[in-house]
Chain A
Amino acid sequence: MTAALRATVAIVGAGASGAAVAWRLARAGIDVLCLEQGGWLDQARSPSRGHGWERALQTRFHPDPNIRRAKEDYPVAAEDTPIQPAAFNGVGGGTLRWGAHFPRLRPSDFRVRSLDGVADDWPVSYDELERWYDLNDEMTGVAGLAGDPGNPPRLAPRDPPLPLGEGGRRLASGFDALGWHWWPSDAAILTRPRPGRAPCNNCGPCGVGCVRGARASNDNTYWPAAIAAGARLVTGARVTRLATAEAGRRIGAIEFVDATGERRRVESEFVVLAANGMGTPRLLLASADAHHPRGLANGSGLVGRRLMHHPTAIVTGVFDARLDGHKGPFACALYSQEFYETDAARGCVRGVQLQMLRGSGPVATALGGYMRRIGWGRGHHREFARQFARTATLTVTAEDLPEEANRVTLDPVRVDAAGVPAPRLSYRLGVNSRRLLDFGIARASEALRAAGAVDVVVNPLSRQAGFHFLGTARMGEDPSSSVVGPDGRCHEVANLAIADGSVFVTSGAVNPTPTIQALALRMADAIAARLGREG
């Protein structure tokens, strides 16, 4: 067997959190090695240069790994959930495929138990996390605008906001007419140049990669800086198991299969899991041994449990004029947090965010992208002409509460290319989440009507919205009710930490990546301090 690779800190996963940790540790002079099952995506050759970009969204850029079935993917058993998985593997992870909407959690999101009597408080506050949010914004390159009355004051984003377009202007006027909040999106998309990255040229389909490097993905933000600082990255490396040492108290080695199919090991002083809220519990459970019979770090029994998504409803308005929604980043225009906080009168707790999506291309319009598929046969073309370029959409993102029955386990039959059991998702939409979605659908419909929509079409639960996997190795002070401590280190395995969305205590109702990365940077500084280096 080839000799083991060695590093001071080994990271599993080169996505949003792994990239941030790698950069922060390498910058502190720590020898870092990251294993990534995918490879580099050549975004300069994005399908957006050809008419086939919409076909690419349904094939090699499809968000669902069970449909995409790329060699770097692993199968996901998803029969027992109404929300199908969306995950992308490669250097940059999900940020290669994302829409780059980049909001922060609110301070109240960290104090759910204290404020609303549900779920649990986080062992970290917004104020404590703020400086890492700021650092992450600086590394990422964020367009937006300070002064949102719905969120705490913060440093002004580096770049001015993206334009709203005609659809956004109409929606803004609708929110204004109702006296409701809206604000231009925080977007991880440049509107001004930066070394090595050109500003956005408003082309639209961010999901097939950005030829200009305007849309941040961690292969064009953290990774170049991490590698320049000395971090090593091994692509095509499929991790199969974490092997313990010292009677289970430490990780002795990471076992993986390399791009040639050879089984290899990494030995390190410290291990960081950054494989997302589905992949991380999968690895912990698949690494069960005599010292950890229920899975690594799983004395609490919570590894894989409390799975939270962001259940999403989609509400689309059809207007009687061209909105040209194909112009502009599809997911970043404006949001409303008018209904973000708990209001007991709604009959449920916590809240929703309404986020604008712009229009769809011709294929997606015909296939019903945000609406219903346009019928076939005579009349198809009339209906296409009625809808195409004339729609604006609001997604309703609900805060999902943690429930132990919603979980990631190991499938007893299916395995990946290296023989590791596939994750199995078992998830039911909670009553509170359903009520939040229904409330949000009604408000989004009102907003669209106020904006001038002549027709409103509702998808009450988007099937392909499993893009956030949160809470499956939650953080907390008490080892009996949490998997990792406030600094991300596992209670039961001294040299193992978790950097991804698994550690979320609650989900908030906004896209989680800025919070995941801020927590990852904070955790990296804690590791650096333990290793005697400054973060």
Chain B
Amino acid sequence: MSPDMALMDAVLGTLLPGEGAWPSAGDLGLAAEVGAELGEDGAALLAALPAGFASLDADAREEALRAIEAARPAAFERLVAAAYTAYYVDARVRRVVEQETGYEDRPPQPLGYELEPFDEALLERQRARQPFWRRP
């Protein structure tokens, strides 16, 4: 692994650290994908990190990233968007989403979900109302 990839993994692991069943984004091999999405912004963000970032404790890593977020908000926002996207489309994370929230670990199609009949009884109060649209 290149030094940049290792450093990006450390950044990802700080943005989305492991917690309970949730894996750390730094352990999923997402660095190349996120780096490619960011292009030059990614290299610039990594270059702005303090020396030894990966070996800092969690508080210090978060503090370092918050300083960069304040200094380069647009580029940092792109980093967060790329990280969240790569993380939440990852199959391993989808399994945890299902386990933790019940959201099925499968694409929307082709199965979809049951199209239950509309319950017109819900409209009882509305149907009792007189028309209130304005006649010109």
Which A positions have Cβ atoms within 8 angstroms of B?
A: 46, 48-55, 58, 106-108, 110-111, 114-115, 125, 145, 147-152, 160-164, 169, 172, 176, 181-184, 191, 199-205, 211-212, 322, 324, 326-328, 340-341, 361-363, 366-367, 373, 376-378, 380-382, 385, 388-389
Contacts and interface: CB of A to CB of B under 8 A. Distances in A.
27 contacts: A48-B108, A51-B107, A54-B85, A54-B89, A107-B133, A107-B136, A147-B127, A149-B132, A163-B115, A164-B118, A181-B132, A184-B118, A200-B115, A202-B112, A202-B114, A203-B111, A203-B113, A204-B108, A204-B113, A205-B108, A361-B88, A362-B93, A366-B87, A377-B65, A378-B17, A382-B19, A389-B102
A367 B85 contact: yes
A149 B115 contact: no
B14 A377 contact: yes
Interface of B: 14-17, 19-20, 22, 58, 62, 65, 80-81, 83-85, 87-89, 91, 93-94, 97, 100-103, 107-120, 122-123, 125-127, 129-136
A107 B135 CA distance: 7
Given A49-B107, A169-B122, A388-B101, A108 B89 contact: no
Nearest to A127: B136
Given A107-B133, A108-B134, A363-B84, A172 B122 contact: yes
B101 to A, nearest CB: 5
Given A53-B107, A54-B89, 13 more contacts: A51-B89, A110-B136, A115-B136, A160-B117, A162-B115, A176-B125, A176-B126, A182-B126, A203-B109, A328-B113, A363-B84, A367-B81, A388-B97
Given A377-B15, A388-B101, A363 B89 contact: yes
Contacts of A58: 81, 85
A150 B113 CA distance: 31
A151 B108 contact: no
Contact of A367 (B84, B102, B116, B123): B84
A327 B125 contact: no
A123 B80 CA distance: 50
B126 A149 contact: yes
B32 to A, nearest CB: 16
Contacts of A150: 131-133
A160 B85 CA distance: 36
* Residue with the greatest number of chain B CB neighbours at <10 A, chosen from A54, A376, A385: A376
B89 A385 contact: no
